[in-house]
Amino acid sequence: MGSRIGDELKARALWFTAPRTAEFRRETVPPPGPGEVRVETIASAVSAGTEMLVYRGEVPQDLRLDLPTLVGNYAFPIKYGYAAAGHVLDTGSGVDHLSPGDPVFVHHPHQDVFLVPARTAVRLPDDLDPELGVFAANLETALNVVHDTPLRLGETALIFGQGVVGLLVALLLKLAGAGQVLVVDPLEERRRLALAAGADEACGPGELNERITEITDGRGVDVAIEASGSGAALQGAIDAVATEGTVVVASWYGTKPVTLALGGHFHRGRVRLSSSQVGRSNPELAPRWGRDRRMHTVLGLLGRLNLRKLISHRIPFEEAPEAYLLLDERPGEVLQVIFTYEALRGGQDV
Amino acid sequence: MGSRIGDELKARALWFTAPRTAEFRRETVPPPGPGEVRVETIASAVSAGTEMLVYRGEVPQDLRLDLPTLVGNYAFPIKYGYAAAGHVLDTGSGVDHLSPGDPVFVHHPHQDVFLVPARTAVRLPDDLDPELGVFAANLETALNVVHDTPLRLGETALIFGQGVVGLLVALLLKLAGAGQVLVVDPLEERRRLALAAGADEACGPGELNERITEITDGRGVDVAIEASGSGAALQGAIDAVATEGTVVVASWYGTKPVTLALGGHFHRGRVRLSSSQVGRSNPELAPRWGRDRRMHTVLGLLGRLNLRKLISHRIPFEEAPEAYLLLDERPGEVLQVIFTYEALRGGQDV
Amino acid sequence: MGSRIGDELKARALWFTAPRTAEFRRETVPPPGPGEVRVETIASAVSAGTEMLVYRGEVPQDLRLDLPTLVGNYAFPIKYGYAAAGHVLDTGSGVDHLSPGDPVFVHHPHQDVFLVPARTAVRLPDDLDPELGVFAANLETALNVVHDTPLRLGETALIFGQGVVGLLVALLLKLAGAGQVLVVDPLEERRRLALAAGADEACGPGELNERITEITDGRGVDVAIEASGSGAALQGAIDAVATEGTVVVASWYGTKPVTLALGGHFHRGRVRLSSSQVGRSNPELAPRWGRDRRMHTVLGLLGRLNLRKLISHRIPFEEAPEAYLLLDERPGEVLQVIFTYEALRGGQDV
Amino acid sequence: MGSRIGDELKARALWFTAPRTAEFRRETVPPPGPGEVRVETIASAVSAGTEMLVYRGEVPQDLRLDLPTLVGNYAFPIKYGYAAAGHVLDTGSGVDHLSPGDPVFVHHPHQDVFLVPARTAVRLPDDLDPELGVFAANLETALNVVHDTPLRLGETALIFGQGVVGLLVALLLKLAGAGQVLVVDPLEERRRLALAAGADEACGPGELNERITEITDGRGVDVAIEASGSGAALQGAIDAVATEGTVVVASWYGTKPVTLALGGHFHRGRVRLSSSQVGRSNPELAPRWGRDRRMHTVLGLLGRLNLRKLISHRIPFEEAPEAYLLLDERPGEVLQVIFTYEALRGGQDV
């Protein structure tokens, strides 16, 4: 192994420097040291949920960063992003499981070339379009949500919000044995896509009550997943589940307060609410599931789902700062946005 | 067996006829028919939580009545109350397990004499002061809350609100193996009483964070019970539990909205929230626990706890209408209020 | 509605009159009274597990009968069997949901025409070959097993015994999100069939340890289902699961003792063992699942699985007594045996 | 800190050198290095269960040793034992939390003076008779069993076997809210002691069924703990629990096979069986409970239970080899046997 390229490389990283302000900063990426790899990015995914909260400055400023690749803080500036797919450029000594050219996924901010500990780079399957590797992050989140959801074969699941995570959760719950997967989203285009991808039913918020009554014969759904980031949807989820049903909150509301009516069905129906956050897994699974097994399972799922359909926009990395303005103003038009990177270095010099 | 009294009896019942308006209505109570008993009330308990919501008209008007002894509806007028202790006056044919003079508890509104199916009258233990039977209702609620709370031996429990239910929950959690029971209430008198009754620690809301940190070494409490009816307390409960900790909501908020910040510890700490309502029990216990077993267990607990201390006011039933005005204005001064009834019929005109 | 046929019908029922002795007995089936239906059988299924224990007299003689249609007792004679599909012949007054000619499933012994309360006859879907309705009983058992099994998306399941119930459990666990379904059976034909029907891996008992190590990287399977009725298989299941893994016992061992080594992996691996019996469901599901919902879910699954392949023998009902001799001697050659019935009465005479 | 004694010390350790053969071996204990402490033993406890299996050679010979202080292997010779209380003699550099003279508990074989990493020595409370520290090991096991037992307030618990662990489990289940704790043991003396220590009921195996029926009104106990090491008791536990009840196996059966009848109540009653082994804790508690918290809780419990009564024999360490012969032959006469050590070095020849 060892470095094949040797020299420092110039890199470009995207930073949020103030609320609603994205700009590039240059950095120099040294050759990989022992146990490190350098990665050239092919694609990185923009998260419509958390990432846009960060971009807008709606995250508590003193929240600690929960990935080692993030830099700065939520009071700005911050280098953010957590889903990059690329190829290994070169490897440091002691790196046995990766070679130059290998396709990898890394939880890393948007940046065209970067250096990370080799153990944080996940080898993607050879038969997978490496660009689809960017879905590994959201699919890991979705799998964790499903592992936190007490769904049994033949039960009815309701998912609020058909952004990328909500849609992936819907697909995984179907794989996990849901008899009926009903999704709700105010945007018709998203409902259409969810149905095409495998949901059984889709409706807008206005029709929801009627549909639930029809589908469940008035009983309510067995589990509801809130993945829209809207407090109103959380109320809808609470009211939609059957007696002793469970609501799993997969959204992060940032600093937005959520106002709930808990005196009705929540009370009489003995509803359960739990937060699913990807940093930890269901403790009941812990003796048998670690991070590696979870990611390994995700890699197997990447090839089973029709993920390409979920990419609504491919934007050259150079245009990223302007892209955020658009994403912020017209969230309804996008599903998965990815930044694409020119492969300047692929094999040549750099 | 059989009726010993035979005649109709004149009775007086308390009705809420409009928001914040209580008044007496007369009714005639016929002799017991087959399977029925007539009961002369000794004492009935006023619930500071739900009952005062009903009194103030803060309950959704179309909520269904959940006890067969309630009459009217939440849009007024309504005959309300659910904790009466008394003696059996006479019994109809086919009633084998009760005899005249037996002390009983009934989920019944405030009324000096009433007729109910014999199966709804719970025989109180002979060695119990029958007046304390009024606690059976709240103790049943508290036991149900404890059965819904995943506490393990040596864990730390935090209870918000030291009204009667909150206080009973604190005592039962101690019996259930809590290593530390910490209670929080803004009223010093209630904190004093809780400590006297068996809580390990008591504090006001302002000192709470510091105390939790001390007691749990920064980990957070294992379970928190919200029994205060305050949305701010629910937020406090969410923020007080450890990672993967559980909040059990024992309060009924009526129509009051509750505003929560769910973007912080709720999210990262994967907090679980569940509603405990006395109408149903923990499904995991259902194969072995029915209503009868729950009530039988309550009867055993009535004698083990020092309940007399929880009675802050004994008010003659005649003064009930005025008493509600007081309760409404100065909730902080009362713990358990009971109405006492003159034993007009006891042995004399019977 | 009401009866269209009116007259008594002569019927033939199969009885076990002594260990390993099956014979026909005649009975007269009166016209349906109020709320009753008369059913003409198309097919009935022989259960290779419990039914053969009954036939051999290996059931505790004082065990109570757990279906209202069974007659006699386990000390013989006994009219046994619990999976009959047929058509409604005629209906008594007050029967609104069934009409003559409707395909139905009934938990009933082997008998060509019988009378039952209409609520016990389950209407089969119109687009289903009614003969396949006989699988409703075993599929209900299999669904109950799956509801008792704590499998999560992507986990590995191992099923011992690929008789009908074991095979159905394997198929349902795949639908329920198993990443890998491994089955083990000493009979090659059954392994072949399981793979054809959807299992991911199949092996004989001798290769099991090696395969588990390969598939799970030495971790052990997440859940194991014992559906073979063999004590050795139960030991195998205990040793096959990962630390804190679960073994679900779907077999009924009758009076056979089971000898286990519990000092090894059971102890150190903190293994959990639970019995799944179809008479009751997972209590956690009880607030939302009743018998009707379970059967309704089964009806939906009947059409999704390729059940026809599981029928290894179709035997005319007339030959039933001899058939049991064969089943008893050569259990390895059969999977699902069904008795077929001539439609003597279909609209014509009777 | 640092060593105050400096010299090597002669020590005597007990070894099992062949089945049923205990003898002393000498060793030299060097002064503590960095992060180490030297401990002078006051008392060590003999475990009547596991330790006697080891002594008799009834443990699988290739089982790995699960404590770092054990030496040898189960094929003999082996230095065994896991519950020693003593005083710190001297400490190496970098040891801040312990000082010479401090009372400590260590999971260590029977030996009069020994050297261990300081982090493995648990500081005992100052107000505790340090001899009682030997119970820390079994109390940790018992607490783990209780954490693995799904008991709720007011439920009935049955414990098979009133050796030390069984008795401690009974006491802790009482603290954990059991309404009734029933214990069963064939030895009258043990039943007497259990009642004195706090069990509600005690009986011999012959009266068990009748007592359970009385106490539970025929329902069966909610949880049963098998702590006797007898296969017959495990069968008794399975048959004693209510429908959907749980049996926790706290015994280690070594290589003894256990023969069970699983075709009766196990099957119909959907009984759950799980193994509780002290090496791991209930995964549901894992996010909040580590080893340190468990031991800290044990230290708090040491002072709350009347443990002195459980010591049936105090034997000078010098007589240990002969003592094992007795323990092996007359297990019924002993409860907790401890070896006592002369404090030769306490400040004098050191």
How does pLDDT run along chain A (350 residues), one tens digit per residue? 334 456 899 999 999 999 999 999 999 999 999 999 999 999 999 988 889 989 999 888 888 898 999 999 999 999 999 999 999 999 999 999 999 999 999 999 999 999 999 999 999 999 999 999 999 999 999 999 999 999 999 999 999 999 999 999 999 999 999 999 999 999 999 999 999 999 999 999 999 999 999 999 999 999 999 999 999 999 999 999 999 999 999 998 988 999 999 999 999 999 999 999 998 999 999 999 999 999 999 999 999 998 999 999 999 999 999 999 988 998 878 899 999 998 655 443 33
Respond yes or no on whether the N-terminal peptide bond of residue C150 is cis (omega within 30° of 0).
no
Judged against a pLDDT cut of 90, whether residue C334 lies above it is answered with: no
What's phi and psi for D164, nearest 5 deg? -60, -45
* Chain centre to alpha carbon of residue B187: 20
Map D154-179 to HEC letters. CCEEEEECCCHHHHHHHHHHHHCCCC
Provide the token pair at A176. 């996990």
Cα separation, B71 vs B82, in Å, equals 12
Partner-chain contact B259 A258, CB within 8 Å: yes
Predicted confidence band at C349 (pLDDT cuts at 50, 70, 90)? very low
Nearest CB to B177 within list D175, D244, D285: D175
Q: State how far the Cα of B174 lies from the Cα of B192, in Å rounded to an integer.
A: 17
Q: What is the 3-state secondary structure (H, E, C) of chain C?
A: CCCCCCCCEEEEEEEEEECCEEEEEEEEECCCCCCEEEEEEEEEEECCCHHHHHHHCCCCCCCCCCCCCCEECCCCCEECCCCEEEEEEEECCCCCCCCCCCEEEECCCCECEEEEEHHHCEECCCCCCHHHHHHHHHHHHHHHHHHCCCCCCCCEEEEECCCHHHHHHHHHHHHCCCCEEEEECCCHHHHHHHHHHCCCEEECHHHHHHHHHHHHCCCCEEEEEECCCCHHHHHHHHHHEEEEEEEEECCCCCCCEEEEECCCHHHHCCCEEEECCCCCCCHHHCCCCCHHHHHHHHHHHHCCCCHHHHEEEEEEHHHHHHHHHHHHHCHHHCCEEEEECCCCCCCCCC
Mean pLDDT of C107-123: 97
**Would the pTM count as exceeding 0.90?**
yes
pLDDT of C254 strictly over 90: no
Q: Say what the pLDDT of residue A61 is.
A: 87
Average pLDDT of the segment spanning C133-157: 97
Confidence category of residue C59, pLDDT binned at 50, 70, 90: confident
| Residues paired with residue C247 on neighbouring β-strands, in sequence order | C224, C273
| pLDDT at B1 exceeding the cut of 50 | no
Torsion (CA) D128, D134, D138, D140 in degrees, nearest 10: 50
Question: Distance, in angstroms, between A314 CA and closest chain B CA?
Answer: 30
Question: How would you classify the pairing of strands A78-79 and B21-29?
Answer: unpaired
For C273, the closest chain D residue by CA position comes to D273
**Torsion sign over Cα A110, A111, A113, A116:** negative
Q: Hey, is D336 helix, strand or coil?
A: strand
What average pLDDT does this structure show over B217-246? 97
Residue pair A11/A109 in contact (Cβ under 8 Å)? The answer is no
Q: pLDDT per position in chain D (350 positions), as tens? A: 334 456 899 999 999 999 999 999 999 999 999 999 999 999 999 988 889 989 999 888 888 898 999 999 999 999 999 999 999 999 999 999 999 999 999 999 999 999 999 999 999 999 999 999 999 999 999 999 999 999 999 999 999 999 999 999 999 999 999 999 999 999 999 999 999 999 999 999 999 999 999 999 999 999 999 999 999 999 999 999 999 999 999 998 988 899 999 999 999 999 999 999 998 999 999 999 999 999 999 999 999 998 999 999 999 999 999 999 988 998 878 899 999 998 655 433 33
Residue B350, pLDDT above cutoff 50: no
Our CA-based measurement puts residue C210 at a distance from the nearest CA of chain A, in whole angstroms, of 19
User: Could you tell me the pLDDT band of residue B334, with boundaries at 50, 70 and 90?
Assistant: confident
User: Which of C120, C125, C86 minimizes the C-alpha distance to C346?
Assistant: C86
Residues B279-313: pLDDT tens digits?
899 999 999 999 999 999 999 999 999 899 999 99
- Is C148:C226 a contact under the CB 8 Å cutoff? no
Question: What is the rounded CA–CA span in Å between residue D285 and residue D149?
Answer: 12
CB contact under 8 A, C283 and B287: yes
Contact between residue B116 and residue B69 where contact means Cβ atoms under 8 Å apart: yes
User: Is the confidence at residue C26, as pLDDT, over 80?
Assistant: yes
> Which two three-digit tokens encode residue D156?
């009935």
pLDDT at A342: 86
Read off φ and ψ for residue C316, nearest 5 degrees. -60, 140
Which backbone phi and psi does A68 adopt, to 5 degrees?
-70, -15
CA torsion angle for A160, A161, A167, A169 (degrees, to 10)? -40
Digit-coded pLDDT (tens) for B45-67: 998 888 998 999 988 888 889 89
Give the pairing of strands C156-160 and C221-226. parallel
Residues of C in contact with D230 (CB under 8 A): none
Rounded to the nearest angstrom, the minimum Cα separation between A208 and chain D is 35
Q: Does D172 sit within 8 Å of B176, measured CB to CB?
A: no
At CB < 8 Å, which residues of chain C contact A? 143, 146-147, 150, 152-155, 172, 175-177, 179, 219, 222, 242-245, 282, 284-285, 287-288, 297, 300-301
Is C284 within 8 Å of B280 when comparing Cβ atoms?
A: no
User: B279: which chain A residues are within 8 Å (Cβ-Cβ)?
Assistant: 268
Cβ contact (<8 Å) for B272 and A275?
A: yes
Determine, for residues B152 and D176 on separate chains, whether the beta-carbon distance falls below 8 Å: yes
Q: Which of D280, D284, D285, D288 to mutate to test the interface with A (most CBs of A within 10 A)?
A: D284
- pLDDT above 90 as % of chain C: 87
Q: What value of ipTM does the predicted structure carry?
A: 0.91
Q: What is the pLDDT of residue A124?
A: 98
Interface test with B, best of A58, A273, A281, A282 (most B CBs within 10 A): A273
Say if CB C81 and CB C14 are below 8 A apart: yes
Of A143, A150, A244, the CB nearest to C153: A143
CA distance C26 to chain B (A): 41
Q: Which residue has the tokens 């939302």?
A: C288
Angle at D24 between CA D23 and CA D27, to 5 degrees: 145
Find chain D residues with C-beta within 8 A of A283's C-beta.
283-287
The residue type found at A209 is N
pLDDT at residue B4 is higher than 80 = no
For residue B343, the model assigns a pLDDT of: 66
Task: Find the residue in A nearest to B270 (Cα).
Answer: A275
Q: Which residue of A has its CA nearest to C282?
A: A152
User: What is the per-residue pLDDT for C5?
Assistant: 56
D79 in Cβ contact with D67 (< 8 Å): no
Query: How many angstroms separate the CA of residue D334 from the nearest CA in chain C?
Result: 24
Chains that touch C (3 or more CB pairs under 8 A): A, B, D
pLDDT band at C348 (very low <50, low <70, confident <90, very high): very low
- Structure tokens that stand for B294 in this block: 């729950």
- Chain B nearest-CA residue for A275: B270
What confidence score (pLDDT) does residue B3 get?
A: 39
Output the pLDDT for position C350.
Answer: 32
Contacts for C210 with CB less than 8 Å, ≥ 6 apart: none
3-state secondary structure string, B150-187? CCCCCCEEEEECCCHHHHHHHHHHHHCCCCEEEEECCC
- pLDDT (0 to 100) of residue D5: 57
Asked whether the beta carbons of B124 and B105 are under 8 A apart, the reply is yes
**Of B243, B244, B287, Cβ closest to residue D243:** B287
Residue numbers in D near A284 (CB within 8 A): 283-284
- How far is Cα C144 from Cα C158, in angstroms, rounded to an integer? 17
**What is the C-alpha to C-alpha distance for residues B90 and B100, in angstroms, rounded to an integer?**
5
Q: Where are the beta strands (DSSP E) in chain A?
A: 9-18, 21-29, 36-46, 71-72, 78-79, 84-91, 103-106, 113-117, 122-123, 156-160, 180-184, 201-203, 221-226, 241-249, 257-261, 272-275, 311-316, 336-340
Kind and range of the H or E run holding B315? strand B311-316
Res. B2: pLDDT tops 80: no
Which of A177, A243, A284 lies closest to C176 in CB terms? A177
